[in-house]
C-alpha cells in the first residue's frame, strides 16, 4: 500500500486512475482547485483535497505532500493562454517536483505527451508551442531529479473504451504518434505504481497489441 497524491484530480485521466489505485489498496488523495468538484472525486474512492497548486510555493506544496509515498501529476492548463500554460504545465509542475523531493515522496509519475522533448518540432507560431515547451522543460527537470520517476507520454487522448494494450516506442522504434484511450492511460498510471522496478523511464504509448503490464515489464527489463 502506498499513499498517493494525484495532482489535477478532476481531470479525465485522474478520475479514471483514482478508482484503479483505490482498488489496488492504495490510500489516494486527489488535489483539485474547485471545491465544487469534491463530490466527483469522492465518488472515485479518493479523498478530495482543495488546493491551488498554481498559486502555491514550494514550501506550501511540501506541506501538501508530507507523508506521501507517490505523486501523480495529471494537471494541466487545458489549452488556456500561453502564460497560464507555462504557469501550470511548467512552473507548478517543477515546484511540485521540488516539493516531492523535500517531502520524501519518492515515486513521481508525470503524465506528459507523445513527442515531448527538445526535438518536439512544434512550430513557433503554433498554438501548441507553449504547451510543448512547458512539458519539455518540466520533463527535463524530472529527469534531472533524484526521484524515482516515470514519465508517461501518451498519444492523442480519446474517450474510447480501454483495450488494456499498448504499442510503446521503447519496444519498437517504428511506433509513431497515434491515439490512446484515457482509460488506458489511467491503467498505465496504476500499472507503473505497481512496478517499483520500473524507474527512470519514459514511456511513449499508443493503443496497441501488447498488454500494458507486459509492455511495462519489458521496458523495466531493458533498464
Structure confidence by residue, pLDDT tens digits, 7-52 = 999 999 999 999 999 999 999 999 999 999 999 999 999 999 999 9
pLDDT beyond 90 at 223: no
The 10s digit of each residue's pLDDT in 100-122 is 999 999 999 999 999 998 888 88
Query: For position 142, what pLDDT does the model report?
Result: 97
Residue partners of 123: CB distance under 8 A and separation at least 6: 129
Nearest to 185 by CA among 77, 100, 113, 78: 113
Q: Specify the pairing of strand 156-158 against strand 107-111.
A: unpaired
Give CA–CA dist 203/113, Å, rounded. 10
DSSP-based three-state secondary structure for 182: helix
pLDDT of residue 81: 87
pTM for the structure as a whole? 0.95
Q: Label each residue of 129-179 as H, E or C.
A: HHHHHHHHHHHHHHHCCCCEEEEEEECEEECCCCCCEEEECCCCCCCCCCE
Collapsing DSSP to helix, strand or coil, 152 comes out as: strand
pLDDT (tens digit per residue) in 153-189: 999 999 999 999 999 999 898 999 999 999 999 999 9
| SS3 call for 125 | coil
Delineate the domains of the chain, giving CATH numbers in brackets.
3-222 (3.40.50.720)
Closest CA to 148 of 102, 197, 91: 197
End-to-end CA distance of the chain: 24
190: DSSP letter:
H
Given phi > 0 = left and psi -120 to 50 = alpha, else beta, which region is 99?
A: alpha
pLDDT tier for residue 128 given thresholds of 50, 70 and 90: confident
Match 505532500 to its residue by C-alpha cell: 65
Report d(CA 21, CA 1) in Å as an integer: 10
Residues 56-76 have a mean pLDDT of: 97
Q: If you search the block for the grid coordinates 503490464, which residue do you land on?
A: 213
Phi, psi of 202 (to 5 degrees): -110, 125
φ/ψ (deg, to 5) at 134: -65, -45
Q: What mean pLDDT is predicted for residues 1-5?
A: 97
pLDDT band at 141 (very low <50, low <70, confident <90, very high): very high
Amino acid at each position: 500500500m502506498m499513499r498517493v497524491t494525484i495532482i489535477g484530480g478532476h481531470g479525465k485521466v485522474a478520475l479514471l486512475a483514482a478508482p484503479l489505485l483505490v482498488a489496488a489498496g492504495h490510500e489516494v488523495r486527489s488535489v483539485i482547485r474547485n471545491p465544487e468538484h469534491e463530490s466527483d472525486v469522492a465518488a472515485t474512492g479518493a479523498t478530495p483535497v482543495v488546493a491551488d497548486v498554481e498559486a502555491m510555493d514550494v514550501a506550501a506544496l511540501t506541506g501538501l505532500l508530507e507523508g506521501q509515498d507517490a505523486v501523480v501529476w495529471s494537471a494541466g492548463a487545458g489549452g488556456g493562454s500561453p502564460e497560464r500554460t507555462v504557469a501550470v504545465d511548467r512552473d507548478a509542475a517543477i515546484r511540485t517536483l521540488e516539493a516531492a523531493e523535500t517531502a520524501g515522496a519518492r515515486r513521481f509519475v508525470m503524465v506528459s505527451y507523445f513527442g515531448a522533448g527538445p526535438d518536439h518540432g512544434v512550430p513557433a507560431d503554433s498554438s501548441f508551442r507553449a504547451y510543448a515547451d512547458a512539458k519539455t522543460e518540466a520533463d527535463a527537470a524530472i529527469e534531472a531529479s533524484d526521484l524515482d520517476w516515470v514519465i508517461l507520454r501518451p498519444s492523442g487522448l480519446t474517450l474510447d473504451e480501454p483495450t488494456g494494450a499498448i504499442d510503446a516506442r521503447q519496444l519498437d522504434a517504428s511506433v509513431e504518434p497515434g491515439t490512446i484511450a484515457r482509460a488506458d492511460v489511467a491503467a498505465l498510471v496504476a500499472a507503473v505504481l505497481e512496478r517499483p522496478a520500473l524507474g527512470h523511464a519514459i514511456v511513449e504509448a499508443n493503443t496497441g497489441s501488447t498488454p500494458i503490464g507486459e509492455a511495462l515489464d519489458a521496458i523495466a527489463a531493458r533498464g
